[in-house]
Structure 1
Amino acid sequence: MDIEGFIRDKLAKQNKSLNKEEEKSLEGILANRIMEYKNINHDNAILMAKSVIDEVQTTLDIQNSDDEFLKELIAIPKADIAMGEMGVGSRGAGDFFVHRKIAEIVASTNSSSLVNPEAQDDGGVVKSPVGSEDDNEVYITTAVDGIHSRLSEYPFLGGFHVARASLRDVCVMGAEPVAIISDIHLADDGDVGKLFDFTAGVATVSELIDVPIVAGSTLRVGGDMVLGDRLVSAVGSIGVSNYPPTARKRAEAGDVILLTEGSGGGTITTTAIYNGFSDVVWETMDISFIKASNALVRDNLVKDVHAMTDVTNGGLRGDAHEISTTTGLGLEFNEEDIRKMVTPKVLNMLETLDIDPLGVSIDSLMIVAPEDIAKEVTKSIESVGVKISEIGTVDNTGIPRMIKQDGKEEILEPLFREAAYTKIKKLVGDTTPEDFEIMKEKVQNAANNSIKKKDKVVDYILNKD
């Protein structure tokens, strides 16, 4: 429970200073909430409640300051659209739109990189300033992923899968992973053992692929202001390569699309745990993806591959749409060939639960390469015991589409949210809101105002002396 957020919300709804009676009532309500989490007596809970209310009210006094720039600095350029309303984090059309707005803010800095968030790719890439000769070129890839929110109660699995996800994002850019970093935030009442369990999950992946964990950070979620035991965390990875990144924008018409067998990661694990398919959890515990990408590095094939991506955000529907949007090219997939590349246990679970296999993360490696190179890629990946198959081709139609099992053609478009894989997600649904265009306009305005604010602060800092 976010007790600071609780008080801010109550004060905002009052829209005025509290009188003594209102303040005492609010103290009592908050004290009762605190006692639900803390093993303290009522008097101490009241003291905590008073402190929180006093701190929040003090911060609100800034609104009466004569310093207009300070008030602007701390004010949020609101979109008046909530995260859940927009589908942020749900790997669908709303989420993709917001990520493009984040990319616009990043692009406004005018800092240069080979691959940045504008490409909506898996990782970012910069060219090392060391050396100028072709044989000395070094490309540095970075990526960061957050733990699946529903795995907070299963820290080891959360750590294992977020580490794999971060490393995958480095691998698909054609880089060889060289380091892992970890950031853990555990709420005030969380058992310290959660920190160790999460770290052990990350360390398991580190040991399996011999890539060291080199740095990290450990903090409480919201400090004293958040009660409970929620764990949120992220793992970052760094990789290096002597060849330009295999970014989505390098795909060309005539290329062949290959897909490795996928058994899922955090999303499939969550689906299994919360729907009673516990045996499927073991299907996800592997490093096949990293073995496959490392084989391409070993066999010096990365330089010949045009593009690679992991089938995660929004499933293959989302990836196909993003590749087509980025390149302007079309992609044609064969549904039956794709289904064969989902492990039988995972596919059976998804079909039993009526979950679209093309709309969720199955953690396959998708490779786009010229036809002659595709044969070498297949041989290389199969040599490390990973299954791979051709699932489609790239063309100039500009439309991502799939040939279904009945021979009909379906245009691949991301849903508003990725395919619902838990009961609560099915209740929320994936239907695009009727006012989606209005929502996008409000989000766009908030992003624009954030850029203006950034520019103003940069100008102030550069010229204050």
Structure 2
Amino acid sequence: MSNPLSTDAVRLTSLAHGGGCGCKIAPGVLSELLSSMPSMQGYTNLLVGTDTSDDAAVYQLNEQQALIATTDFFMPIVDDPYDFGRIAATNALSDVYAMGGTPIMALAIVGMPINTMSKTDIGLILKGGADVCQAAGIPVAGGHSIDSVEPIYGLAAMGLVHPKQVRKNASAQAGDVLILGKGLGVGVMSAAFKKNQLSDADYAVMIQSTTQLNKPGIALASLDGVHALTDVTGFGLLGHAWEIARGSELQLMIDFAQLPWLPNVPELAAQGFITGASGRNWQAYGEHIDLCASLTETQRGMLTDPQTSGGLLVSCRPDVADQVVALFHDQGFEYACVIGEAQRGAPGVHVR
């Protein structure tokens, strides 16, 4: 079973109480914490703020350019320090791609237990993040570091997009087709990994998925038929689908049989490898979800499974759906497929 260790004897995942996007504050608690935030009204150049829980803030600079700004960081989901850095950086840059933008620069966010971890391992985390940024064509131009109890790494990332090509999560239209860009099940696989029950082959797939940059977002934003974009991360497929439904005031219909799962995820879930974050997600938004009666509690846990560096969720016109799927496939996203559609009706998500 796969469990690649860092260069010192301590497993990175043992130094943190959670890992990856499963570390996120539960959506219900987060909503309560943000309820007293001041209104974004009055900032005329702010195209996207906190109102719709979108992936990043967007500020219009001029008629041709808008600045995308986001930050994302978390604790280790794997023990290999280089892989941890790569995953965290890929996840952070995804928010830029999910707005339809092109990254231009990143700043590193670093919190490390200096007396517990070796400088070699910390350096490998930073190198992993820098290598991903290099693959995205951008520099890590600075950052900030602290001595913390748990290892934390991520990026503040910036990008550019034409103001007319910004793709919000709240702009889906009735009749749209829903397309998912990556396979699901990273949270289940990470839970199995922590228990030394993830095979070498499945670990390799998890790393490949979580370090695959969501670059298709750039091209998707240029297609008129693509109405809404978001990425599926810590709140799971249902949570991010609910954000689209709520913001767009639509019903989203998801076909469980069409969902793409990473290898052996259903089997691992059936063995009990479901994260605590999955249950917290359901408690936060379950009242807005209508599940087919035939779905089991385990399958519900898979639907709310927190995805670290997950795929893009696209809402587009039916006539461009084949083009969108082909775009994903051409860029190496083999799991990309149609998973449902958007309909008129009271905001909610229905899984059949």
Q: Same fold (TM over 0.5)?
A: yes
The answer to whether the 8 A contact 1:262-1:342 is kept is yes
What SS is found at the alignment partner of 1:98?
helix
In structure 2, C-alpha distance between the alignment counterparts of 1:213 and 1:220, rounded to whole Å: 20
CA distance 1:344–1:90, change in 2 (3 Å):
same
- In structure 2, distance between residues paired with 1:269 and 1:335: 19
Choose from 48, 56, 75 the match for 1:115. 48
Instruction: Report the Cα distance in structure 2 between the residues aligned to 1:235 and 1:375, rounded to whole angstroms.
Output: 33
Match of 1:173 in 2: 99
Compute the TM-score of the two structures, normalised by the length of structure 2: 0.75
CA contact (8 A) 1:289 1:364 kept: no
1:359 matched to 2:323? The reply is no
Cα 1:114–1:295 shift into 2, 3 Å = closer
Residues 331, 96 of structure 1: alpha-carbon distance in 2 compared, 3 angstrom cutoff:
farther
Over 3 Å counting, the alpha-carbon distance change for 1:307 and 1:164 in structure 2 is: same
Judged with a 3 Å threshold, the aligned counterparts in structure 2 of structure 1 residues 156 and 350 are, in CA distance, closer, same or farther, namely farther
Rate the CA distance shift 1:259–1:184 in 2: closer, same or farther, 3 A. same
Can you give the 5+ residue segments of structure 2 that lack an aligned partner in the other structure?
A: 1-17, 275-300
CA displacement at 1:271 relative to structure 2:
2.0
Distance in 2 between residues matched to 1:389 and 1:116, nearest whole Å: 30
Q: TM-score, normalised on structure 1?
A: 0.58
CA distance in 2, matches of 1:160, 1:289: 10
Whole-angstrom CA distance in 2 between matches of 1:156 and 1:238: 23
> Residue in 2 aligned with 1:315?
236
> Which 10-residue stretch deviates more, 187-196 or 389-398?
187-196
Q: Shift of the alpha carbon at 1:171?
A: 0.4
- Structure 2 residue aligned with 1:285: 207
Identity score, percent: 22
Choose 305-314 or 208-217, whichever is displaced more: 208-217
- Residue 200 of structure 1 pairs with residue 127 of structure 2: yes
- What is the letter of the counterpart of residue 302 of structure 2? P
The answer as to whether partners of 1:100 and 1:120 remain within 8 angstroms in 2 is no
SS at 2:204's partner residue? helix
Mapped to 1, the partners of 2:82 and 2:182 lie a distance apart of 24
Report SS of the residue matched to 1:249. Answer: coil
Distance 2:161 2:40 in 1: 27
Is 1:381 aligned with 2:328?
Answer: yes
Q: What's the secondary structure of 2:337's corresponding residue?
A: strand
Cα deviation, residue 345, structure 1: 3.4
Equivalent residue number for residue 105 of structure 1: 37
**1:391 corresponds to 2:339:** yes
Secondary structure of 2:47's partner?
coil
Q: Where is the helix percentage greater, Structure 1 or Structure 2?
A: 1
Match of 1:260 in 2: 181
Give 3-state SS (helix, strand or coil) of 1:119's partner: coil
| Aligned residues of 2:70 and 2:95 also touching (Cα < 8 A) | yes
Give the whole-Å Cα distance in 1 for the aligned partners of 2:249 and 2:82: 41
When residues 403 and 268 of structure 1 are mapped into structure 2, their CA distance, relative to the original with a 3 A threshold, is: closer
Per-residue CA shift, 1:359-408, capped at 9, x if unaligned? 1134121100111122221222222232321111111112433343xxxx
Give the AA of the match of 2:231.
Answer: D
**Cα distance between partner residues in 1 of 2:247 and 2:29:** 16
For residue 241 of structure 1, what is the aligned residue in structure 2? 161
The structure whose RCO (Cα within 8 Å, separation 6+) is larger is 2
Q: What SS does the corresponding residue of 2:51 show, helix, strand or coil?
A: helix
Matching of residues 33-48 of structure 1 within 5 Å: none
Q: Is the 8 A contact 1:272 1:278 kept in 2?
A: no
Work out whether residues 181 and 337 of structure 2, in 8 Å CA contact, stay in contact via their aligned partners in 1. Answer: yes
1:380 is paired with a residue whose SS is: helix
Query: What CA RMSD, in Å, does the superposition of the two structures yield over aligned residues?
Result: 2.7
After TM superposition, list the pairs within 5 Å mapping 1:65-214 onto structure 2.
89-90=23-24, 92-98=26-32, 100-101=34-35, 104-107=36-39, 110-112=42-44, 113-129=46-62, 132=63, 137-148=64-75, 154-190=80-116, 191-214=118-141
Letter in 1 for 2:54: D
Q: CA deviation at 1:116?
A: 0.8
Tell me the SS of whatever aligns to 2:191: helix
Aligned to 1:345: 264
Q: CA deviation at 1:106?
A: 4.6
Deviation at 1:314, TM superposition (A): 1.8
Distance 1:401 1:233 in 2: 33
User: What are the ranges of 5 or more consecutive residues in structure 1 without an aligned counterpart?
Assistant: 1-83, 222-228, 405-465
Larger Rg: 1
Instruction: State the match for 2:142 in structure 1.
Output: 215
Q: Distance in 2 between matches of 1:90 and 1:395?
A: 30
Take 1:263 and 1:392, find their aligned partners in 2: how far apart are those partners?
15
2: CA distance, partners of 1:373 / 1:108? 33
Letter in 2 for 1:204: D
Residue 264 of structure 1 and its aligned partner are, at CA, apart by 5.8
Name the structure where strand makes up a greater proportion of residues: 2
3-state SS in 2 of match to 1:174: coil
Q: SS state of the match for residue 181, structure 1?
A: strand
Matches of 1:146 and 1:95 in 2, distance apart? 18
Quick one: distance in 2 between partners of 1:322 and 1:154? 33
